[in-house]
Structure 1
Amino acid sequence: MKSIATIFFCLVIYTQTQAQWSGSPNVTQAGYASIGTAATDAKLTVSSPNTTTPVLSLSATGTVANLRMGVETNYAWMQSYGGLPLRINNIGNDVYFNLGGGKVGVGTASPDAKFTVTESAPGAIFSMNASGANAYFKMGLAADYAWLQSYGPRPLRINDSGNDVLFNVGGGNVGIGTATTDAKLTVKGVIHAQEVKVDLSVPGPDYVFETNYKLLSLVDLNKYIQENKHLPEIPSAKEMEEQGVNVSEMNMLLLKKVEELTLYVIELEKKVSAMEKQGK
């Protein structure tokens, strides 16, 4: 209570000497103090009829900056006046904002998330680094896309602890080395992997070994090759160059041709064995 009284006394002296506020200072029996208003809704209530000047100004002898607080028509404000930064909680313990709700905006008076940062021009919006690190993390916006990177240059490691990483669960494609994506994952360049597992989109060709499978005769096969310069059902070189190759589908087609080739070899072996028997 003594500290409140001391602050109030100082403010009374200041207001009386400077004559900046109209109205008499007021102290209630409940220990509430007010300046510029008879209504007290806190231990100390200060009211000013002018919204263009600060309501409270704090400064120290020899300092260039001073702390100011005030109100405008539709918002309250605080600032370090004098062109120097406003440091919040300079001793280093935790700082909490809006525990009861609400949003925080930086560079904007219309935040649309818990924390919204707006920059007037494309570029880096967020930068994070550590003492002694050769790289630092940046996030920003270009004219038509958002970006994040490890700046330095050093690699950007995503989920370095090793658990799962999910991309575009709700839809959309991912591109590596290209901004034009025509599949869930589009890579412009070489893919190096220890092992690749592909789910089949077409049935396996074991039906070739069924008794009712109609195998093309070697005469008809030869005629087709002479006319088309590629095997039946296998796309031409030009088609593969223009349209690419579906790995799952192509592997099954190649397996089918190997199985058909096996049937041709078995059929030829039967004919050779029959001819050898006749020669005896």
Structure 2
Amino acid sequence: MKFIQLPGLLLACLLALCCFPSQAQVRGTFVVNGDIDKYYPVIFTDSAWNYHEASELQIGRSSVHQDGANSWRGSIIATFRYHTTNWGNGSQFIEADIRQYINPALPFNKFVAGWKDATFGNASKIIIIWLRGSTSYNYSSRYNDNVAVYDGTAGRPLPYIEPNNGPSHTFKTSIDSYVNTNGNTYTGSTYFLGGLNYFSGNIGIGTPAPTAKLEIANAAAWTANGWGKAIKLKAAQSIELEAGIRKFGIGATSDTLLCFFSTDTDTTALPVRYNFVMTNSGNIGIGTLTPNNYKLAVEGTLGARRIKVTQQGNWADFVFHPEYKLPSLQEVENFIAKNGHLPEIPTAAEVKENGVDVGEMNKLLLQKVEELTLYLIQQQKEIDELKRKIK
């Protein structure tokens, strides 16, 4: 037998072809039958798993009339990138980039309703994508990805049961909340390390349909009353509200103080004005940083159309009770001469040190008015008696 010596480069190429399977691009079409207003499970293989790579699957319909000139089923260009857990390998993920168009006047909805890794209890290397029924699709992948449709027609029974007696799945009638119907959906945390990150549209956190530039919903509760932890700032961190020259801030400066403050600069050049503070005990200060033991401390003038003091007990009407001993005017005169103020009324020094209890002071003033009324009545009786005697 005669041996032929091959050049080294050619031999290496032949060995490479023998040792590694081919990775040709695979293309095909499939049809999901059933109703156009339902989404049916379609099984795709994770054929890149053994190559230690992510599988990449393209699902597309360039023409809205692919199923007939008058069908108007819509168009979609979608890319799915995924890697299955395959019975416990933790690097699994499914990411989707979906761009689709449906005539808004038509009753049926988008193409994709959800997806799932179907290998948490088996090693079948498959994922499920729920696709709209009564529609044909085109697909391509880098490897030989197999497609199996379960739409309830002959040979495609529902429900679909995951291998190894896993969970069963049937059609969906609505789109899952995690599906971005016209954009990207990523699995896991995202880190943007660039200096500038810009979002043009509305941003939703916990909601797929934000109605404001930033909308937060469904945050985990952090109190026994069910309040959601939508935004958390560390100590001495604040939210700045731009208002032209003035800047307003909200933050907590210590373990016991919530502040609403303002400043005239974005820098540390000027001190802040503490417009409103609240302590952990619920005491509130307006224009002051130290409400002390007052439930409301105001530095400045308090203006109001009405002030109502409630739960004021022992009102001054006791002066009119028969058992009340009205002091004589001589006794009042002697008290004033000795103390320099009316009986039971606080002194100027006491008011300066302790302030005035509005409710209590009103009661004391009313008491003195009622006492004065009784003195006037007594004097009028004496005047009337003198007039009678003179007459």
Give the structure-1-normalised TM-score.
0.54
Please list the CA deviations of residues 194-230 of structure 1 after superposition, one character each: whole Å capped at 9, or x if unmatched. 2222225233222322333221122222222222221
Give the structure-2-normalised TM-score.
0.40
Provide the residue aligned with 1:189 in structure 2.
300
Rate the CA distance shift 1:206–1:198 in 2: closer, same or farther, 3 A. same
Amino acid at match of 1:147: C
Q: Say if 1:202 and 1:252, in contact at 8 Å, map to a contact too.
A: no
Aligned match for 1:147, one of 259, 268, 272: 259
Provide the residue aligned with 1:5 in structure 2.
none
Amino acid at match of 2:259: W
Q: Say if 1:125 and 1:139, in contact at 8 Å, map to a contact too.
A: yes
Q: Say if 1:127 and 1:138, in contact at 8 Å, map to a contact too.
A: yes
- Indicate whether 1:254 and 2:365 are aligned: yes
Q: Say if 2:315 and 2:363, in contact at 8 Å, map to a contact too.
A: yes
1:128-139 matches, cutoff 5 A: 138-139=249-250
Local SS of the residue matching 1:186: strand
Q: Say if 1:138 and 1:149, in contact at 8 Å, map to a contact too.
A: yes
Amino acid at match of 1:126: I
Aligned match for 2:283, one of 151, 154, 173: 173
Offset, 1:78: 4.4
* Distance in 2 (alpha carbons) for counterparts of 1:245 and 1:25: 92
Rate the CA distance shift 1:253–1:117 in 2: closer, same or farther, 3 A. closer
Local SS of the residue matching 2:322: coil
* Distance in 2 (alpha carbons) for counterparts of 1:99 and 1:127: 25
Offset, 1:171: 5.4
Provide the residue aligned with 2:89 in structure 1.
none
Please list the CA deviations of residues 40-83 of structure 1 after superposition, one character each: whole Å capped at 9, or x if unmatched. 8x95449xxxxxxxxxxxxxxxxxxxxxxxxxxxx976445xxx
The root-mean-square deviation of aligned C-alpha atoms, in Å, is: 4.5
* Distance in 2 (alpha carbons) for counterparts of 1:102 and 1:257: 58
Amino acid at match of 1:274: E
Please list the CA deviations of residues 11-30 of structure 1 after superposition, one character each: whole Å capped at 9, or x if unmatched. xxxxxxxxxxxxx7897993
* Distance in 1 (alpha carbons) for counterparts of 2:238 and 2:21: 47
1:16-35 matches, cutoff 5 A: 30=45, 32-34=47-49
Rate the CA distance shift 1:143–1:255 in 2: closer, same or farther, 3 A. closer
Offset, 1:192: 1.6
Identity rate of aligned residues, in percent? 31
Rate the CA distance shift 1:115–1:194 in 2: closer, same or farther, 3 A. closer
Q: Say if 1:200 and 1:249, in contact at 8 Å, map to a contact too.
A: no
Provide the residue aligned with 2:322 in structure 1.
211
Aligned residues: 202
* Distance in 1 (alpha carbons) for counterparts of 2:310 and 2:382: 39
Gaps of 5+ in 2: 1-19, 27-43, 56-79, 85-187, 209-217, 221-227, 266-275
Amino acid at match of 1:239: E
Gaps of 5+ in 1: 1-23, 47-74, 104-111, 159-166
More displaced stretch, 31-40 vs 207-216: 31-40
Offset, 1:174: 0.9
Amino acid at match of 1:207: F
Q: Say if 2:285 and 2:298, in contact at 8 Å, map to a contact too.
A: yes
- Indicate whether 1:202 and 2:313 are aligned: yes
Q: Quick check: which one's strand share is greater?
A: 2
Q: Say if 2:219 and 2:229, in contact at 8 Å, map to a contact too.
A: no
Q: Say if 1:136 and 1:150, in contact at 8 Å, map to a contact too.
A: yes
Local SS of the residue matching 1:215: coil
Q: Say if 2:316 and 2:367, in contact at 8 Å, map to a contact too.
A: yes
Amino acid at match of 2:351: M
Rate the CA distance shift 1:129–1:36 in 2: closer, same or farther, 3 A. farther
- Indicate whether 1:264 and 2:375 are aligned: yes
Provide the residue aligned with 2:239 in structure 1.
126
Q: Say if 1:202 and 1:249, in contact at 8 Å, map to a contact too.
A: no
Provide the residue aligned with 1:276 in structure 2.
387
Provide the residue aligned with 1:67 in structure 2.
none
* Distance in 2 (alpha carbons) for counterparts of 1:79 and 1:273: 95
Offset, 1:129: 5.2
Rate the CA distance shift 1:94–1:205 in 2: closer, same or farther, 3 A. closer
Rate the CA distance shift 1:209–1:118 in 2: closer, same or farther, 3 A. closer
Greater relative CO, 1 or 2 (CA 8 Å, sep 6+): 2
Offset, 1:94: 4.8
Q: Say if 2:251 and 2:259, in contact at 8 Å, map to a contact too.
A: yes
Offset, 1:116: 3.7
